[in-house]
Amino acid sequence: MQLSDAEWIVMNLIWDSQPTEASEVIAALGSENGWSGATVKTMLHRLVKKGALHTESVGKKYRYTAAVRRSDCVRRASRSFLERVFGGDAAPALLHLVRTSKLSDSELAELRELLDAKSSKNKESKE
Amino acid sequence: MQLSDAEWIVMNLIWDSQPTEASEVIAALGSENGWSGATVKTMLHRLVKKGALHTESVGKKYRYTAAVRRSDCVRRASRSFLERVFGGDAAPALLHLVRTSKLSDSELAELRELLDAKSSKNKESKE
DNA sequence: GTAAACAGTTTACGTCTGTAAACGCATCGG
DNA sequence: CCGATGCGTTTACAGACGTAAACTGTTTAC
């Protein structure tokens, strides 16, 4: 499920507050991004058509829900980003991101923990 | 300097082996990506037009060199990726990438070092 | 020197994107 | 009951993208 820039904006909103009605999306993105209602409607329609969203008309109300999991889209987008910018090599990407990002102490700690967990897994598979 | 997928492929090649002649790019990307020579020529032309590449005709030979720094493009692409997929928040992105990537011991070590350096910098600024 | 090869420029064309108006149908308020 | 409002659908349109052929001028090999 390849999402464009604008589509990510819509999907992020819907993932965050499902199920969502058109009016909410229009209200949120209209003021936040300066999109006209017509534009938002087009995005929603296209996302439904490409299978990223799902509409249910419960009673007389229409609601949008995500039809694809955010994690899948994130995975796909990350892979594509790594591929195009870093030739698929995660390590330089990570180094770059760490260098150029502000990270709080707790975030740093969490990352360090993950790295430690990964190291021990490396050791295991070596044995 | 917003680069498209295909443009990244060309730019990566040229950054790696500057200066480059059209024939080399065509040879490399033709076999590697299955692009026709005509396609490569179009890409080169567009990249020159948008200011990402620079042509010099030294004597009777034409050579392409990058007119933008890779690091700038990487920064821009990373920011855009973070923005669209993780709402601009680096920490979750890093966690995701670490979780889903294979990293060697030395890469893990290097990352850990960077994190440590960042921690101490955090402390400094607090004092 | 004439044809083949090569390089850059033009033109082409279908698809995707961002942005939006217009249309048609249902519903709601008066 | 009738017009305003809300929502989904259709249509629109310019610019970017991927892909590539055609054209033109130059260089090179026979």
The ipTM, to two decimals, is 0.86
Asked if A105 reaches chain B (Cβ–Cβ under 8 Å), the answer is yes
Contacts of A122 in chain B (CB under 8 A): 103-105, 108
Structure token digits, residue B124: 């400094």
Model pLDDT, residue A100: 92
Nearest chain A residue to B123 by CA: give it: A105
Q: What pLDDT is recorded for position B61?
A: 76
A41: nearest nucleotide, CA–C1' criterion:
D8
Q: Determine contact: B100 vs chain A, CB below 8 A.
A: yes
pLDDT digits (tens, 9 = 90+) for A72-92: 999 999 999 999 999 999 999
- What does pLDDT average to over chain B? 90
Flag whether residue A27 sits within 8 Å of chain B, measured between CB atoms. no
User: B4 and A84 in contact (C-beta within 8 Å)?
Assistant: no
Mean pLDDT of B24-32: 89
- Provide the pLDDT for residue B108: 92
Q: What percent of chain B has pLDDT over 90?
A: 64
The reported pLDDT for the residue numbered A26 is 92
Instruction: Single out the residue of A88, A4, A6, A99 nearest to residue B75, CA to CA.
Output: A99
What long-range pairs does B43-46 form, CB within 8 A, spacing at least 24?
A: B43/B6, B43/B7, B43/B10, B44/B10, B46/B7
Rounded to whole angstroms, how far apart are CA atoms A29 and B7?
31
- Token pair in block for residue A82: 């790594």
CATH, domain range A5-66:
1.10.10.10
Long-range contacts, stretch A56-60, CB < 8 angstroms, 24+ apart: A56/A19
- d(Cα B87, Cα B17) in Å, to the nearest integer? 35
CB contact under 8 A, A78 and B97: yes
Q: What is the pLDDT of residue B127?
A: 61
Q: Which two tokens stand for residue A110?
A: 């969490």
Kindly report, residue by residue over B78-106, the tens digit of the pLDDT.
Answer: 999 999 999 999 999 999 999 999 889 89
Task: Tell me which residues of chain A have a pLDDT lower than 70.
Answer: 58-60, 123, 125-127
Of B75, B94, B101, Cβ closest to residue A98:
B94
